[in-house]
Structure 1
Amino acid sequence: MRLTPISATGKGPADRFTGDVYVTTMATPTAPPYLSSAIVHFMPGAHTNWHMHPNGQTLHVIEGIALVGTRDGTVIAARPGESVTCEPGVDHWHGATAETLAVHVAMIVASADHSGTDWLEPVPDEVYDAAQVAAQR
């Protein structure tokens, strides 16, 4: 058994996020299975850039409403206690609604030679704005 001390919370970098995002790393493994996890706080209106994970990603919502969208226009609005699985290799984005914050635990499997995330371009405003309808369910 081993205790991992809490990490300092840092602001998400502007080249990967729109708006105010704060990340607290939970696990950054140095040996297989390379499960990496973080608690991510998205303030209202904040979201990631498009990105993908070669081994997929699971997002477990713990507060607010989290939007998760794919390039084909599919959007899921997840609430506390719900999880969203992003399939391997699928471009997606996630974040808060325009009016409500979102907090989720993000989990990915990386590898010895790859962080587990391929960051892409920012999500266009019209894509993010259209996703707000999903939050109305």
Structure 2
Amino acid sequence: MLTIVKRGDGSDSARSEGPYTGEMWRDLVQQDANGNSFGKVFFTPCARTYWHSHPGGQLLIVEHGEGLVGDENGTYKIGVGDYVWTPPNTRHWHGATSGRSMLHTAVTFGGATWEEEVPEEHYLEANSSAKS
């Protein structure tokens, strides 16, 4: 059976609670019992996730602003129209730059395994030296 989610369905956005630094808001569109979900996440400047991974991977689609995504190989600057595929079980983090907010759609497969916070020093270095 199809699920149709119409714009303006009256659902309130919710401030995200959990393993994040800074302020994030989330509109969860769909989630199932296996941890598969999709929704929109808004990051205020400097807001970011903790290090984490997804058993089935994750697709991010940047819709507004400017952000950062990092893994063990480095940090990359992302912007409107960019897609980021994170393969299954790849340790990473993502969030807004220090000077801009960011909105992305996240399509997550298999839930998330959360780890430690991205230290402020690591974030500041990534913010200034991220690859394009």
TM-score with structure 1 setting the length: 0.84
> In structure 2, what is the Cα distance between the partners aligned to 1:82 and 1:48?
18
1:79 is matched with which residue?
Answer: 79
- SS state of the match for residue 41, structure 1? strand
Task: Give ranges in structure 2 of 5+ residues lacking alignment.
Answer: none
Question: Cα RMSD over matched residues?
Answer: 2.0
1:125 is matched with which residue?
Answer: 120
> In structure 2, what is the Cα distance between the partners aligned to 1:68 and 1:49?
11
Aligned residues: 128
**How is 1:1-137 mapped onto 2 (pairs within 5 angstroms)?**
1-4=2-5, 6=9, 7-13=11-17, 15-30=18-33, 35-72=36-73, 74-110=74-110, 116-134=111-129, 137=132
> In structure 2, what is the Cα distance between the partners aligned to 1:136 and 1:71?
14
- SS state of the match for residue 127, structure 2? helix
Deviation at 1:109, TM superposition (A): 1.5
Deviation at 1:135, TM superposition (A): 5.5
> In structure 1, what is the Cα distance between the partners aligned to 2:66 and 2:22?
16
Question: Hey, which bits of structure 1, 4+ residues long, moved more than 3 A?
Answer: 4-7, 134-137
TM-score with structure 2 setting the length: 0.87
Task: Give ranges in structure 1 of 5+ residues lacking alignment.
Answer: 111-115
Q: Percent identity over the alignment?
A: 32
